[in-house]
Amino acid sequence: MFDYHHFPVIAVMILFLGAFLVEIFGSKNKTVRNTIALVIAAVSAACIYALIKPVFFDGEVISYWMGNWEPVSGYAIGIGYEVDALNLFFALLTVTTFLLSGIYSVRYMEKDEHLGHYYTLYLMLSGGVLGLVLTGDIFNMFVMIEIMTFAAVALTAFRNRSFGALEGAFKYLVLGSVGSSMTLAGVALLYMSCHTLNMAQLSSILGSQPLNPTTVFAFALMFAGLAVKAFIVPFHTPAADAYMVAPTSVSMMFSGMVNKAGVYGMIRLCFTIFHAMDQSSLQILLAAFGCVTMFVGVTMALAQHDFKRLLAFHSISQIGYVITAVALGTAVGLSGGLFHAMNHTLFKGLLFLTAGAVLKATGTTNLDKLGGLSKKMPKTTICFLIGAFSISGLPPFNGFASKWMVYQAVYAKAVTTGNFFYAVVTIVAVVVSVMTLASFIKVTQACFFGQCPENLKDTKEVPLSMRIPMWILSVLCLVTGIFYNFVYEKLLYPAMVAALNTVKYIDSMMGAGYAGAAGVANHLVDAPRFSVWDPISWLLLFVICLVAVCLVIVLGDRERGKVSDPETKPADGKYATFFSGEHELHSHVAGSDLFWGFKKDFKGYFNVVQGAHDGNVNTYASWVVIATAVIAIFMVIFVK
Amino acid sequence: MIIVNYCVSIILICLGLYAVTMKKDLIKVVIGLGIIDYGVNLFIVSVGFNDGGTAPIFTISELLNGAASSYFVDPVPQALTLTSIVIGACVDAMALSLVVMINRKYHSINADDVRRIRG
């Protein structure tokens, strides 16, 4: 009945239209407001879901020229939207995230004032991200980045009476604005050398000749600008603050779609526009950034005492995995990266929602003040455990499948190139996964198990409409982990091929044969389908190991079980790592400091990293400037 | 001629980055953001400028007479600059309003005092 070629534009436009409708009609009556916001979000999501069949299953690339301004004699003159499987993959993550976040917000935000503005900004943020993901024009992309950033800043400051909200928003605004200015400068430089703003035409011009210093510099600026949006270390500082202080439904949107939009931009930039991912120098640069991001993210997370800030640093760390995998420039790496991006949206969304449930039920996210919530909030606890297992990479949850693909891809890269650097990256990736598990054991212990403090005795489970999004995400975590082959066949493989098949991208936008006439060819050949990883056998191995450990404990010295009772027996040196060698009376394994011994051993490192995050906006801005300068110098010298 | 524009835009961007990274006063940081923006805007306008070009506006009779092929400046960067100026103004307004609220809450607009979230 409807022509689906219009759906991408309708999906974006209706969100912006809805933002105004909410402001006009919804400022008084809350039922009208919630209905408008949710219906608009659902219609937008339906438009995107309707594109799955033509784009993923039939392999079509949808191109749409605004106002029907089609290219004239091979020159793009209008703004174009282009949807291939890569765009649509990220668009699906986006719509799923904002739909679930919207359902969750209804009850989560009910006590706040000025909710009309909240839903306006919510729809603006959704529209900005969706527009960024679907557009085929780099200046339109810049405008969408700006809408996204400033809606995000305003939402960060929404609860402006709570701790740190204004401060987090201001830092986000300053760094985001510097990043946007760099993107704009990059766009201007590209326009200067190519005289077009259309991505497909830029790709065809830049692919037909070697890159010159001007275009490489433009590449570096846009790369750094998008890195600020993807929150890669050292551009990550606003993320840690903003995720912590924003309302939790918004934190979920940040980690589920805002940083994914940055990742999408980087993939599109490196693969499609600049054809540069076959160069080993760029691969090493990206992999180095990814590696540092995962390591710094997870070590900072280990040191946190706030539930949401801890999740924020994990979010940064997981983006490191995605970047590392994408950096390899191989088909396995790209599919692993996309898979991990999708899984990160699912499990980190779930974890943020459980953190929001804890905040709503108890009024705090400070891990030192929480404890024993598993008896009060059993359903939330189960959801949290599913999310924690997924992010730590335990089979059969989805985190295992994607992390396994990432390890495999990095290892294969180390073997094929013989480069020692990738061997180090492989080791770091595995170590980071272990530390992720460690820090989630800490959260589980400090928040859901252990002793329940007196003031939390009458905590109640959160309402049903907040639990529904959590259950949906939990089920998705499990389903994508078990049926990974189906996900790979239907979603990841088309998206990966779309990222590598630049010629098709150019031809569907500019007319058949355009890329061939300009002399553009696909540098990266798409690899055959593969299936070599099997989480079920690993699950069996883990079960066998667990049974073996349990047997040893049961058959061994009975004294073991009694050590954790500090009232009857002082902790001896053997367990000093957990008890910090002290006789603690109220310790449920030292609350949020479970890994005290580990932190003490690496005190030098932790002091330096924590000291570097000094909260000063000047320091953070100078990291951005220095990192951009390093990227620019590196690229101008090494990227050809 | 146009070289001067490029030099000035680079100087403006560097000055703005200096203000953002070095100045402790949050108002000065916001001013720095504005200056970066102006530098970038000047750069974009300069990209499209042709020395001695006319405005890219033609009537039907001029088009029929073939005057459309005459020498004119590129209109696209001007459209980009206009968009960018509007966005920049909104950024400044929002940043300043945040600074006002920070001042109410923290009783200071020194970057060294506004750092309760850290570590």
Distance CA A176, CA A12 (A): 22
Q: What is the pLDDT of residues B7-49, one digit of tens each?
A: 999 999 999 999 999 999 999 999 999 999 999 999 999 988 8
Q: Long-range contacts of range A315-318, CB-CB < 8 Å, 24 or more positions apart?
A: A315/A231, A315/A239, A315/A243, A315/A254, A315/A255, A315/A259, A315/A344, A315/A348, A316/A231, A316/A232, A316/A233, A316/A236, A316/A239, A316/A240, A317/A293, A317/A432, A317/A436, A318/A294, A318/A344, A318/A348, A318/A391
pLDDT at A258 over 60: yes
Among A191, A303, A613, beta carbon nearest to B47: A191
Say whether residue A168 is in contact with chain B using an 8 A CB cutoff.
yes
Query: What is the rounded average pLDDT of the residues A93-110?
Result: 93
Residue A582 domain-assigned (yes or no) = no
Distance CA A293, CA A318 (A): 8
Percentage above 90 pLDDT, chain A:
54
Judging contacts by C-beta atoms under 8 Å, the chain B residues touching residue A167 are: 102, 106, 114-117
Residue for token pair 């524009």: B5
Which of A77, A148, A173 to substitute to test the interface with B, most B CBs within 10 Å?
Answer: A173
Distance CA A266, CA A276 (A): 11
pLDDT at A321 over 90: yes
Residue for token pair 């039920």: A361
Among A166, A191, A309, beta carbon nearest to B77: A191
Distance CA A257, CA A342 (A): 10
Instruction: Mark yes or no for CB contact A625/B111 under 8 Å.
Output: no
Distance CA B25, CA B112 (A): 9
Per the model's pLDDT, the better-predicted residue between A542 and B10 turns out to be B10
Three-class secondary structure of residue A112 per DSSP = coil
Mean pLDDT of chain A: 87
Alpha carbon A424 to its chain's center: 24
Instruction: Mark yes or no for CB contact A178/B33 under 8 Å.
Output: yes
**Residues spanned by the domain of A367:** 278-482+526-552
Residue A265 domain-assigned (yes or no) = no
Predicted pLDDT at A526: 54
Q: What is the pLDDT of residues A231-245, one digit of tens each?
A: 998 999 999 999 999
Count of pairs with CB atoms under 8 A, one residue in A, one in B: 121
Predicted pLDDT at A557: 60
What value of ipTM does the predicted structure carry? 0.94
Instruction: Mark yes or no for CB contact B26/A170 under 8 Å.
Output: yes
Measuring CA to CA, which residue among A211, A198, A332 is closest to residue A275? A211
Say whether residue A185 is in contact with chain B using an 8 A CB cutoff.
yes
**Burial call A491-516: b when 16+ CB within 10 Å, e when fewer:** bbbbbbbbbbbbbbbbbbbbeeebbe
From the CA of A23, how many Å to the nearest CA of chain B? 19
Predicted pLDDT at B48: 84
Asked if B41 and B88 touch (Cβ cutoff 8 Å), the reply is: yes
User: Can you give the pTM of this predicted structure?
Assistant: 0.91
Judging contacts by C-beta atoms under 8 Å, the chain A residues touching residue B110 are: none
Helix A420-443 vs helix A378-392: crossing angle, to nearest 10: 170
Among A139, A153, A181, beta carbon nearest to B36: A181
Parse chain B into domains and list their residue ranges. 2-106
* Domains held by chain A: number: 1
Q: What is the pLDDT of residues A186-213, one digit of tens each?
A: 999 999 999 899 999 999 999 888 888 9
Predicted pLDDT at A563: 45
Asked if A386 and A349 touch (Cβ cutoff 8 Å), the reply is: no
Distance CA A492, CA A431 (A): 26
| Range of weakest confidence among A9-23, A123-137, A475-489, B67-81 | B67-81
Residue for token pair 């599913």: A386
Residue A417 domain-assigned (yes or no) = yes
Among B21, B43, B119, beta carbon nearest to A618: B21
pLDDT at A143 over 90: yes
Predicted pLDDT at A348: 94
Say whether residue A629 is in contact with chain B using an 8 A CB cutoff.
no
Residue A456 domain-assigned (yes or no) = yes
- Residues forming a β-bridge with A75: A72
Residue A312 domain-assigned (yes or no) = yes
Query: What is the rounded average pLDDT of the residues A365-389?
Result: 89
Which of A156, A618, A623, A628 to substitute to test the interface with B, most B CBs within 10 Å?
Answer: A618
Residues B92, A315, A100, CA angle at the centre, nearest 5°?
85
Q: What is the pLDDT of residues A577-624, one digit of tens each?
A: 555 555 545 444 455 567 777 778 888 899 999 889 998 999 999 999
Instruction: Mark yes or no for CB contact A614/B87 under 8 Å.
Output: no
Distance CA A574, CA A588 (A): 18
Per the model's pLDDT, the better-predicted residue between A125 and A162 turns out to be A125
Measuring CA to CA, which residue among A110, A115, A130 is closest to residue A41? A130
Distance CA A303, CA A355 (A): 18
Q: CATH number for B2-106: choose from 1.10.10, 1.10.150, 2.30.30, 1.10.287.
A: 1.10.287
From the CA of B112, how many Å to the nearest CA of chain A? 6
Residues in CB range of A134: below 8 A, 6 or more apart: A8, A11, A12, A81, A82, A83, A87, A91
Among A173, A180, A622, beta carbon nearest to B98: A173
